[in-house]
Amino acid sequence: MHMAKKTAKTASAKGAAKAPETAKAPMEKEVARSKPAVEQKPAQELGESSWKPAKDQPAMASTPAVQPSPKPAAGGAEGKREQGGLVKGIMIFGLLAAVLFLAYYFMALSENSFVPGIEVDAETFKGIFTHSTNVFIVMDVRGASNTATANNILQCGVDFAASSGMGGKEVTPISFGNDGCVTPDGFRKPKECFAMLKDGTTIYVRDGPGGAKYYSNGMVVFVGPEYALGTCGIKAT
């Protein structure tokens, strides 16, 4: 009898001890219900959204690797300077050679032909002729197309020498043929006759279609197979 009561008391004590734990359970459930549930996304979606670019933004282009510029070889600048100096030397030498050639060419040309100078108008030549003391009348029949033209060239020169404009001037007739030139002093080499022309104003008569051109050193008169006597001449002013 005493043991049964003791057992009953022990059971009732155990039940009283467990009562508070049972009371806590409803409270924990209420707290759990009051907390909002956290939505968990799959691991795959979270991983993709962390690196994928947005559709409206272009992907970044990869930057190419910068290659180091090659270093110039030692002595390159000095070599270029030497090469440039050589080229300049060749150019200067070529220019000097060209100048010497042209000088020799014009010198030889002036020794074997009449150098009229720059072309001028008739009035300018008239002033040049008026102030000239020495006048050379050259009749060049070399290369005349026919005998009539050659005779007309000679006659034109004679008419110039006899014209009134020659009054008070030292007139020297010179004729050129295939065998050389003839002056009042006799036969001479062509270059000797051309050298004389540098000392005065020249009237140079040659084969041509007619007419005349005026220059600073003289005038060139063209005569053909048709010529009227007395056509060539300069009248005194």
Q: Is 50 contained in some domain?
A: no
CB 200 within 8 A of CB 135: yes
| 169: Cα within 13 Å, side-chain hemisphere | 25
The number of distinct structural domains making up the chain is: 1
- CA–CA distance, 162 with 46 (Å, rounded to integer): 125
User: What pLDDT score was predicted for residue 92?
Assistant: 78
Q: Is 26 contained in some domain?
A: no
Question: Which range marks the domain in which residue 201 is found?
Answer: 119-223
- CA–CA distance, 124 with 214 (Å, rounded to integer): 8
User: What pLDDT score was predicted for residue 172?
Assistant: 97
Report pTM: 0.56
Q: Is 30 contained in some domain?
A: no
- CA–CA distance, 96 with 104 (Å, rounded to integer): 12
Q: Is 16 contained in some domain?
A: no
Task: List residues bridging with 138 in a β-sheet.
Answer: 174, 204
Mean pLDDT by 10 residues, the chain (237 residues): 43 43 47 49 46 52 56 60 75 69 46 87 95 96 94 97 95 93 93 93 96 97 95 90
